[in-house]
Chains A and B, each alone.
Chain A
Amino acid sequence: MQISVIVALTLLVLTAFGFLIGRRRALAARGASGGRLHSLPNYYGYYIALWTGGPALIVLALYGAMGAGLVNTLAMTQLEREAAPLIAEFERQLDNDAAYRALLAQAADAELDAMEAREAIALARDAGLDPQDFQSELARQTTRLTETGAQLDARRGEIVRDVAARAPSTDAGIRARAGFEYWISPNERRELFLADARAIAFGAGLASRNTPELRAAALAMRPVEDVFRYSAAGLALALAVGGLAWARSRVRGAFRARNRVEAVISGLLMLASVIAILTTLGIVFSLLFESLRFFAAIDWRLHEFLLGLQWSPQIAIRADQIGQSGAFGAVPLFAGTALITLIAMLVAVPVGLFSAIYMSEYATPRVRAVAKPVLEVLAGVPTVVYGFFALLTVGPFLRDAALFLGYEDAVTQSALSAGLVMGVMIIPFISSLSDDVINAVPQTLRDGAYAMGATKSEAIRHVVLPAALPGVVGAILLGMSRAIGETMIVVMAAGQGANLTANPLESVTTITVQIVTLLTGDQEFDSSKTLAAFALGLVLFTLTLMLNIIALRVVQRFRERYE
């Protein structure tokens, strides 16, 4: 700890020193030759300071970001290697333990039953029935699952203790035991183990336990850490001194210090703009990579994913069912997304477009002063609020209205309520974009129409709108892309049932809802369920990206025409 403080302080001093030296040298150069400096004296200071602090800082940052991880990995791999015999023994015992295998089967059973109960709850809700029985069944199965899990852990613990006990209590034995304990632990326990070991080794923070194994791990870490720490500190200081000397030697009156400093600044600025590209790349690669793993898990039956009519990912929970036909057929999700998007656009396009027309062509400044903020506020309301509104106000109202009109199967969570509210959310989006394009239509076109004796609405319908059409289409496409990608409203208000239906009063599910369903809650990252979420994400990203590109291009063309 102390060494890093010393290094940091030294670096700071060196950097400040570099700045002063640069300034001084620059002033001296001016005084000596009586000539002119290329740049202001401060720039010479900045230049040297940059070379002193910059590279050293990068080294320290790299060490800070990755040092601890590297030390842990190096130390623990060594210990795990020493624990190899114990690990082999443990695996052999686990495989041959009848009790353990029985418990595993029991857990799988309970899990399956719980899944079924969960599905039944959803079904009962949709049918307007009291899901209480299923809920108690679910609770029963969950308890069973936890109990079995606890028994499993206990049995496994017994085996672990048994195996660990075989290692001798010599130094080597304890080291092997440490490696074994680390190997056997799940991820979060490993983190705790490492944190404790580090606490013991370097006195940073308080260790929650203090066992011989931890002490052994700490002992293994210390030399590795020392090597890293001292070499990082040495490297940083050497770079700082070297940079200082080198930069100082370059400073003369005619030296273009400002240009060098500015090059660094513009380099940093460029780096900032590259982050946007890195984000896109990150999105594309992470989606693609995980999706490929998912497709591999379903044996590359892509057509079943894209064209299958049955979406019930819960069924595929057991390993032997992963590739089963129909479990991951995403058509109901696509249909649900399309239905809700359609409803949303049916609300948003007329209201948004007419609002835009009214605002840009008819409204007095006073009306604009009221209506524009209202639309802006609508645009600023968080989607979770819209979801709540759909769930508790619009949904029940629509259900009651449908019941009143004699439609018996009405439910609260329906495509209609989600679509309606989503439409409201998109109104400001369409109206503000359309407002922009309508305002961009040159006044001479309107004048031409008025001069022909057209009424205001005729001028708008016959001349302004056709001229603004590409822009309006772009706005609608962007609105659609928004509707497709919108998550919270549908999660809260559209329901969960993967119904393949065109009836807006039924509950449907969408791509985004299923992504959320698959990824919230505790499950392993590698299960085909979570991977399926990424495949859905890829579909969503591709779909919206295509819409966005087309829309942006159309709008771009429109702007070029009139600007």
Chain B
Amino acid sequence: MNRPASIRSAVEARLARRHRSEQRFRFFGVAAISLAVAFLALLVGSIIIQSIPALTTWRVTLDVELERSLIDPRGDMSEASLRRGGYSAAIQTALRRQFPDMETREELRDLFGLYSAVNAARLLNQVVENPSLVGQTVSFTFPIDDAANLYLQGATVRESTAPGPAPLLVTPGEDETVTLAADIAVFDAFMDEARAVARARVRELEQRASRAEAALSEAIDRDIRAVYESEARRARTAAGQLLERLDEGAALVLDAQTPSLLIKAGGAVIRVTEISADRAQAAGEIVISGDAPGGLMADWTLWTLETPQAGRRVSDRQIILTDALRERGLAQSGFNTELFTYADSREPEIAGVLGALIGSVLTMFVTMLLAVPIGVGAAIYLEEFAPKNRITDFIEVNINNLAAVPSIVFGLLGLAVFINTFGMPRSAPIVGGVVLALMTLPTVIISSRAALKAVPPSIREAALGVGASKTQAVFHHVLPLAAPGILTGSIIGLAQALGETAPLLMIGMVAFIADAPTLGLSGFTEPSTVMPVQIFLWSSAAERAFEARTAAAILVLLILMMSLNAVAIYLRRRFERRW
């Protein structure tokens, strides 16, 4: 029976395999942890990177003349009169003074597209506050339109500049048109580039067309079929038109589907509209005349906008104007304070989180006021006073279950009970606070109970032993010792509530609200939104500029939550006691 030698060899025979499997198992563990860490790094990293464009913003500063007849139409300097003033017109005049070349409707539309009308309201407020400005020229700064801002940040338009390789003869023609000619094929590189882009675009269009056709074959609804048909037709036509232009021997007509070519010389900018087949001649139009271009120019720049106009929201002209503003020092980049000083807006450049921040503060105040006292009270009762019977068992099971109920269900409760039955106002912080308090309550109760449980029974016994009543023992001795734990749990519960979105959608805190609520008693019933909901709203907004703003808002929220949690951790470290 005793055969140590054979056992030993039997065990040894399997050892290597067993150790390999041990290594494998351990590797899975390391991989799992690394994966979790990588996910977090990716999450935070991608949000930080996406938020970078929103941290700075370009602003335009103009000298705006507040002409008396324009600003004070009634001429009596009353507030009512000042409120009717043509502030937009004043800003427009200032813009036109910068670019006297802009004359046609189309040109002016591009020019005025650089600022959003809401800025006029800011100017109005300045004047109403200080009527002595009327008749003077003020320096007015406004954030530039979001599309132009994204261009200036280099986020949406691929562009390149190169010095002109050979002297260029500019001959002005009719109506701001010019013809350009050089001795060598100065447009060579651009032609190749444009054709490559066009070929890629053709492929893309054809794919779209065939996808639409595939969908068409499955669609039944008449209206939907019509749309698929038109989509397919449009894509095919555009692809066909582009294909024609790919012919190497022909001249290239530049339009919205091709990259754009601009020529800069002195202060003037010419937009090329057609390039001849020999790549040495071109036709164009003057956008900014500067010092009247003409004659043989040696010093000029080829400015290529590789992203076709169809693929961006800023037109060639707006890019030229924006660039000119930057060159003249009128447009400057700075930290995006608008993000913190404005409430929500449809215009990304003046949309901020102020309203949502105030809404969050108000909501959290209500939540704290309800959840903490009630939660701590319930915990004290269940831990210290409640008799052990079926009812308290039921309460306990109930609280544990409540902690795991999906948050959206609390939203449904709020909608059905507080709004529809009690008639409390929709979208108001008070209702949001109550709903979040109910949601947070189980967390506060559970953590407070844990904190109370951690106080050793000897403390209670000592207090009872010297003749204190149960209530005195609890309130004078146990509660102060459990306070740090209770506080920590409450803060963590509040942080959780601060990041909650779903229940607030149910009670209508998802509305677009352009005015920040009052930071006071009346604010509790005013319609408002909160940080996470603002993030949700912005993330579904169409404008690309909102993408970065959403990421920036997320950073603000994360920093808020981290600081709350840091306070909790500090309290835990500072006051933690082990028995």
Contacts and interface: CB of A to CB of B under 8 A. Distances in A.
B279 to A, nearest CB: 34
B417 A272 contact: no
A161 interface: no
Contacts of A481: 404, 406
Given A533-B412, A545-B401, A455 B224 contact: no
Interface residues of A, number: 105
A130 B228 CA distance: 9
A542 B47 CA distance: 36
Contacts of A515: 408, 412, 506
Interface stretch (B296-304, B333-341, B547-555): B547-555
Interface string A340-375: 000000000011111101110111000100110011
Interface string A151-181: 0000000000000000000000000000000
B554 A385 contact: yes
A492 B36 contact: no
Interface in A239-285: 258-259, 262, 265-266, 268-277, 279-280, 282-283
B334 to A, nearest CB: 26
Interface in A402-441: 408, 424, 427-428, 431
Contacts of B30: 358
B154 interface: no
Contacts of B470: 262
A266 B536 contact: no
The B interface, classified by DSSP as helix, strand, loop or mixed, is helix
B18 interface: yes
B385 A279 contact: no
Contacts of B245: none
B57 interface: no
Nearest to B50: A392
A275 B536 contact: no
Interface stretch (B21-29, B73-81, B263-271): B21-29
A388 B31 contact: no
A175 to B, nearest CB: 25
Contact of A537 (B19, B408, B533): B408
B409 A350 contact: no
A370 B42 CA distance: 17
A458 B18 contact: yes
Given A269-B378, A374-B37, A488-B536, A388 B409 contact: no
A355 B33 contact: yes
Contacts, number: 292
Given A354-B29, A358-B30, A540-B409, A276 B399 contact: yes
A558 to B, nearest CB: 15
B528 interface: no
A389 interface: yes
Contacts of B18: 455, 458
B412 A286 contact: yes
Interface in A497-516: 512, 515-516
Given A286-B413, A492-B539, A388 B211 contact: no
Contact of A385 (B33, B535, B540, B565): B535
Contacts of A428: 36
A133 B405 contact: no
A553 to B, nearest CB: 9
Nearest to A357: B29
B137 to A, nearest CB: 39
Contacts of B50: 392
A120 B381 contact: no
A374 B407 contact: no
Contacts of B21: 455, 457
Contact of A358 (B33, B227, B469, B557): B33
Most B Cβ at <10 Å: residue of A352, A484, A516, A551: A516
B241 to A, nearest CB: 18
A350 B33 CA distance: 11
A487 B406 contact: yes
A551 B18 CA distance: 34
A375 B36 contact: yes
Interface stretch (B123-131, B144-152, B184-192, B494-502): B494-502
Contacts of A455: 18-19, 21-22
B32 A485 contact: no
A152 to B, nearest CB: 23
A117 to B, nearest CB: 8
B500 A382 contact: yes
A262 B442 contact: no
A276 B395 contact: yes
Contacts of A189: none
Contacts of A116: 221, 223
B386 interface: yes
A391 interface: yes
Given A487-B501, A544-B406, A552-B397, A392 B547 contact: yes
A137 B21 CA distance: 63
Nearest to B377: A272
Contact of B227 (A120, A289, A350): A120
A20 interface: no
Interface string A384-396: 1111110111000
A127 B510 CA distance: 28
Interface in B520-575: 532-533, 535-536, 539-540, 547, 550-551, 554, 557-558, 561, 565
B325 interface: no
B47 A540 contact: no
A124 interface: yes
B499 A359 contact: no
A387 B19 contact: no
Interface residues of B, number: 99
B201 interface: no
A377 interface: yes
B438 interface: yes
Given A120-B227, A382-B500, A457-B21, A273 B29 contact: no
Contacts of B254: none
A43 B533 CA distance: 49
A363 B30 CA distance: 9
Contacts of B394: 277
A408 B211 contact: yes
A461 B36 CA distance: 22
Interface string B35-54: 11101101100110010000
Contacts of A370: 37
B408 A129 contact: no
Contact of A280 (B46, B230, B398, B508): B398
Contacts of A357: 29
A127 B228 CA distance: 10
Given A354-B31, A355-B32, A458-B18, A269 B445 contact: no
Contacts of B407: 485, 487
A266 B471 contact: yes
Interface string B370-404: 00011111101110011000000011011111101
Interface of A: 116, 120, 123-124, 127-130, 133-134, 137, 258-259, 262, 265-266, 268-277, 279-280, 282-283, 286-287, 289-290, 350-355, 357-359, 361-363, 367, 370-371, 374-375, 377-378, 380-389, 391-393, 408, 424, 427-428, 431, 453, 455-458, 460-461, 478, 481-482, 484-488, 491-492, 512, 515-516, 519-520, 525, 533-534, 537, 540-541, 544-545, 548-549, 551-552
Given A272-B377, A371-B37, A492-B539, 14 more contacts: A272-B375, A272-B378, A272-B381, A273-B386, A275-B441, A286-B412, A287-B409, A362-B26, A374-B36, A382-B557, A385-B43, A387-B539, A455-B22, A537-B409
State the 10 A-B residue pairs at the shortest beta-carbon distance, nearest first.
Answer: A485-B406, A382-B499, A358-B29, A272-B377, A354-B32, A286-B416, A457-B25, A273-B378, A269-B381, A487-B502
26 contacts: A127-B215, A130-B231, A269-B377, A269-B380, A272-B374, A276-B398, A280-B401, A352-B32, A378-B36, A380-B496, A385-B43, A388-B47, A388-B550, A389-B43, A427-B36, A455-B18, A456-B22, A456-B25, A457-B22, A457-B26, A487-B505, A492-B539, A516-B502, A516-B506, A520-B505, A545-B401
